[in-house]
Amino acid sequence: MKKNIILIGFMGVGKGTTARAFAKKYGVYNIDTDDLIESKENKEVKKIFEKKGEAYFRQCEQDTADWIEQCVTGTLISCGGGFYKVKNLKKLGTVVLLDASFEWIHNRLKTAKNAEAKLAKRPLFSDEKKAKALYKERETAYRKVADVIIDVAGMDLEAQLKEIAKKCKVV
């Protein structure tokens, strides 16, 4: 795989789960933009929001995008929910959107084994009403930037992986 796959979508849609399963199945490396930022800042995303504010975090995302553009090829990159706004997104690889309704995502998070931890690490999901408004604000924009759209609610994980591989010409 020469080109990167850039996995985008709303918080909690399952980017991490899909990315890890894809990496294992197709023998590629997966990196995550939140993990990259946390390691560079030596701070959890939640703490970066608390101590430095959202604008600082967004700048970290842009810096990460610039680094990916310069240095990363042949890699699956799972992105934080707001990463789609970086100005060079389309230069980073094939953009794949994991798409689902807000209700489906909310239910996935609420019913997860570690639901509390999943919600606690996402500062923008602490208030359901605000999270829904953010979803509404972003849903069209996500679809606009995507090269490939995967309807995760209508597809099991295995089918998602095959669809991503086919559309991104991994196999």
Q: Measured from the CB of residue 12, what is the shortest distance to ligand S3P in angstroms?
A: 6
Site string for ligand S3P, 83-122 (x = CB under 6 A): ---------------------------------------x
Q: Measured from the CB of residue 133, what is the shortest distance to ligand S3P in angstroms?
A: 12
| Rounded distance between C-alpha atoms, residue 16 and residue 6, angstroms | 12
Q: If binding is defined by CB under 6 A, does position 80 make contact with ligand S3P? A: yes
Nearest CA among 95, 134, 146, 94 for reference residue 12? 134
Nearest CA among 121, 93, 132, 103 for reference residue 8? 93
Q: Measured from the CB of residue 169, what is the shortest distance to ligand S3P in angstroms?
A: 26
96's tokens: 């794949």
Alpha carbon distance, N-terminus to C-terminus of the chain: 8
Q: If binding is defined by CB under 6 A, does position 14 make contact with ligand S3P? A: no
Q: If binding is defined by CB under 6 A, does position 34 make contact with ligand S3P? A: yes
Q: If binding is defined by CB under 6 A, does position 45 make contact with ligand S3P? A: yes
Look up tokens 């997860």; give the residue.
Answer: 112
